[in-house]
Each structure stands twice: as C-alpha cells, then as structure tokens.
Structure 1
C-alpha cells in the first residue's frame, strides 16, 4: 500500500526545528456559518536547545479533562531553553474544539480524537487533527506523554500508566518513565477499546508512550494538578531532556490483567456505590446497586466484583445507562 504523501491542511506558525522558545498555533481551516474563512487554532509551544531527544506533551485529547491542560499551559509559560537538552513540544489543548466546549468529543463532528487515528488529511476536523499528529508530530517524538483524567463521567485513583507491549525493550523504557513520573499509583494498563487510539499509533512507531488518569468528575483538584505538574517535570528529567533534580514519590503498582477488571451496567438507573475508591474488594462482593427510576417499589440490580483487588475507578454521575463502565478493579503488584 502506497503511503499518502498529500500534505495536511494544518499549518504551524512555529518552526519545530528552530532553537529557543516559540509560542504559536496549528491552524486548521474550517469554514462555518459564523466564519466563512475561519480556522481551528490549536495552541502549541516549542522549547528547544542543542541536540537531544524530543518529548511530545499533550493534554485535552478529551476536552473535559483538565489536569493536563493546567500542567502544560504552566510548563509552556515557564520553561526556558537553558533548562532543556533536546526539544519539548507542548500542546495543552490537543483537541481544541472539544476543550473549548468542555466536552469529551468534538462539538463540530462528534469525533473522539482518541479513537480517530491514523486520521485522514481529507476527513472530518477530528480526523485531520489526528492525521497531523500521525504524520507530522509523532515522527518527531522520542517520548510521548498524553495526560488524561476521568472527565465528566469517570473518577480515578490518580495514576500514571503504560501498556504491556510485544517489544519488551520499548515496554521497559515506558515503565521506567511511569516510575519516574511518581503518581500515587502506577498501572500496567489494559485497554478495553484500543482501536484508533493515539497510544496505539505512537507505540506502533516505536515511541515511548506514557499516559495518566488523574481524578475526574470534569474538574481538577489542587492535589491532582500538583501530581500532573510534578510528574511531568520528573518524566522530562528521567528522559534526559530537562535539567534539574527530580522529586521522587512513592507509588503503588497496579495491574489490569484481563476483562474481569471491568464491571459494566446492563440496566440503567440511579447508582449507589457500596465501596469507595482505594478500598480493597473481594470477588463476589456487592460494589454497587442500580435502582430503576421509573417507579417506586422495584428492587435494585446488584453489581458484584468479578475479581478481588483495589477499587480503582468508578462511574461519576449518579445516573447510569446500559453499557456504562461503572467500576474498575485492579491487582496490587510489585513494581
């Protein structure tokens, strides 16, 4: 199959190969009702100095997740070339349309950027953004850190994560950076829906890919924001890009080895959790009840743990729909 060599419609107002600090945009033409010659403007910063590896740092892959954008807007404002050996490319609002709307997916085309890779240069707005990362930004990177949290629909114990990979050397480098990040929890990640993911695209290119899930509920606390900011700097230091002393933190390693880690609702209704995040639960234990809300007097549906482990993530809103993931249980393991 011949590679598509047609250029992306996105143009950058920064020079990714120039030294120093640059602030600018990725500009994607987007004709709409209120701006016939309008554009989607994605903020980008580049800080480069000398020869060394490149880190690609991204936030708001989903637009309702805020620890990453906070950490990266602050890093872009404060990072100086003399602190860097190599290059740092910072995109605090990777999915700018979704970020501006405060939604998981793009309000323009309902596209989920993290399920749109490798993208298309002639596709929807979301597909065009994915294509630019696939063909322009990811090839420049050695290390990729993509910040996530639970957004408006999930709440997580704050963790940094990487994936178990066929290439064990690539996997080991990723887990070394997870350890260096120093979140309260570190996860060997199992994805339940990996098709079209940014993660998958980066890993297929041989990049060292690290991600997070830091809190949730569509907001960011002082604690989770602090974890993001400190962890980002720790990771850049460990990658040999940022000068300075790391701030190592204790971490508990978790593993999500199979599908039994995930509990899904088969009925909709009002959810009552019977355990809290961070508690240990046993296989068969009741972890939630779902009350039908159309009438009184009906018994709730009982959801039980499919395995023993640490209650790691939960559905956030009080109402659930059939098919929603309502709980994640992980094994506590040695790092």
Structure 2
C-alpha cells in the first residue's frame, strides 16, 4: 500500500513564480519553552526573470561552514532580476538552527541535515526541513549548488566537486559546471557516507548537482570566501541563468577513486601532522602521529598514507577520537 505523505508544515512568504526580487522566509512552526507558537525562520531570496532554468543555491547544510552563507547572503543582496534569465532560489542557511548555533547539527534535535533526506513532514525539525527541500524546492530546480567546507573538524584544499553517476549526460553536465566554477581544485568525488544525503536526493531526481569543500576550521578566510562568491557567479553564468563573462580560473583536477584515499584513527589523543595540505605523499608514508595524552613517556601511534597522492584534507583541530578521519589523499589527474 502506497503511503500518502502529509503536506509540509513549512510555508513560504515568497512567491516562487513571481518575477522580480523577493526576500522572505521559509516558516516552520516550532512550539518551544520560550515561544509556544514560535517558528523556525529560514531566510530565502527568489530572483526571477521570465522563462529559463532554475538554480537552487544552498549554504549551511552544516551550520559551522561559512563560505557558502557568506557568498549567498552577498548574492541575495546584490543580484538583479534584469541580469537573470530564469530563476535563482537562494537559501544561505539551509539548516538555520544549526547555523544560528554555529554547530554542524541542529541544537533542536541533533539532526544532521545532510543525512536526513528524504525527510518527513511529521518528523523532527531537521526532517521537516529536509522534506520541504525534497518535495518542494528540489523539484523546481534544474541546477543545485550546495556549499560545504570542513566546519570545525576538517580542513580542505579549496575544491568544487561532483559525483560519478550512472547517467553520463547528467554527470558530464555537472562536471562542466564544476569546471566553470573555477576553484583552485576540482574533484571527482567519492562519498564515504552517502545515505540520506541532499546530494543523493537531488541526483536521483535527475538534477545537476555541484558541491564544494572550501576550507575549514570553523571559519572562512578572505581567499575562500572569494572563491565561493566568484565560483557561484561563474556557475550561474555557465548554466545560462546569469548574464556576464566567466571569471576563468585555472584548476587542478583530483580524483578520489576508492576507500584507500581515507585514513582513519583507531586511537584517541593529540595529533601531529608530518605533512601539510597540498604536499605530495607516498604510499606508506607517515602522515601523522597520535600522542596518548593520559601520561607522558608513551610512544605515539603512526598513521600512514594508504596510497600516494596529494594531501587534500586533514582533521582539525588538535585532538582526535577513534574513528575520526584524519587525512584524505587524492590523485592528481588531467581535467
């Protein structure tokens, strides 16, 4: 028996079909101790001009990642309808409760937005937001750009990425937009935990999905914020939605072909890296050491690269737990 889903409890204060520039909210009723008839208010901007493709731009899928929100709040402030053909939907803080708290997951329900799809209209706050994207926003979109960075626990070389897909036409279009984005690095992405992801939800609908990892450490630099904003505009131009000339930037393509790209810690302690991001390492090379911190005089545990390649991501900050991903090594390939 097919289950009929309830309508989403989220209502939009903007008209997605109206021409012009609109700033408003996605309002989710949320009864809580300090507001019995309260709401979660998720800022949204819609810029529409006639017929054409729709781009859905999202940031703060994880609330402690800032390059995307910086770029999207700026774009929402400055984008003019006269320069658009089609529609741009901008949600700078997709997981607004997490963004407001500066945390990866929601402080309301501990929900990880990027592991909550397809969501539920009668579920937790995070599941309700995911459901709205799944059933309302994603079906409107032709192109989806979801900004990520390392948050408080990872640091990345700044890259734009898409996934290897069964549909090679869909895959090729995604990689064309990755190339246009123009990040310093571009990645053929391998996910180590893809269940419930926004990426998967969009791709299964046939949408052209592009993402990023633009830095980390729970902050954004002038460089990484600039990469996000320039890349976003480039992507909209390449998608035929925004008028303008591409700000072409050179990019080095990377590939993450298998699980050997990832090095995990089996121990807790303080980490000392013996290589820095952007350096080339060899298979078997010690890339980090974990020092036990309960007492002095103990030898550190060595963590070795499982493949040769470019040191692309690392754990952040200085303490690790068993199971933490501490290093990612990628292959440099031709674009």
Structure 2 counterpart SS, 1:278: coil
CA offset digits 1:7-45 (Å, max 9, x no partner) = 100000000011000000000000000000000000000
RMSD: 0.6
Unaligned runs of 5+ in 1: none
Cα deviations across residues 67-88 of structure 1 (Å, max 9, x unaligned)?
0000000000000100000000
Counterparts of 1:85 and 1:227, CA distance in 2:
24
Indicate yes or no: 2:165 matched with 1:178. no
Is the 2:170–2:208 Cα contact (8 Å) retained in structure 1? yes
Q: Which runs of 5+ in 2 are unaligned?
A: none
Spell out, residue by residue over 1:86-139, the C-alpha distance to the aligned partner (whole angstroms, 9 max, x if none). 000000000000000000000000000000000000000000000000000000
| 2:90 paired residue number | 90
TM-score by length of 2: 0.99
Q: Which residue of 1 aligns with 2:230?
A: 230
Please report how far the alpha carbon of residue 189 of structure 1 lies from its aligned counterpart in structure 2 after TM superposition. Answer: 0.1
Query: Are positions 1:288 and 2:262 aligned together?
Result: no
Aligned to 1:36: 36
Alpha-carbon distance, 1:325 to partner: 0.2
- Is the CA contact (8 Å cut-off) linking 2:60 and 2:148 kept in structure 1? yes
Deviation at 1:2, TM superposition (A): 2.6
Question: Shift of residue 6 of structure 1?
Answer: 2.1
| SS of aligned partner of 2:166 | coil
Q: CA deviation at 1:4?
A: 3.0
Indicate conservation of the 8 Å contact 2:6/2:122, yes or no: no
Q: Paired residue for 2:15?
A: 15
Distance in 2 (CA, whole Å) between partners of 1:130 and 1:334 is: 36
Q: Residue by residue, what CA displacement relative to the aligned partner does 1:228-258 show, whole Å, maximum 9, x if unpaired?
A: 0000000000000000111000000000000
Aligned length: 335
| TM-superposed deviation, 1:63 | 0.1
Q: Which residue of 1 aligns with 2:99?
A: 99
Counterpart CA distance in 2 for 1:28 and 1:138 is 18
Work out the CA distance in 2 between the residues paired with 1:318 and 1:111: 25
Shift of 1:3: 5.7
Partner of 2:242: 242
**1:148: Cα distance to partner?**
0.2
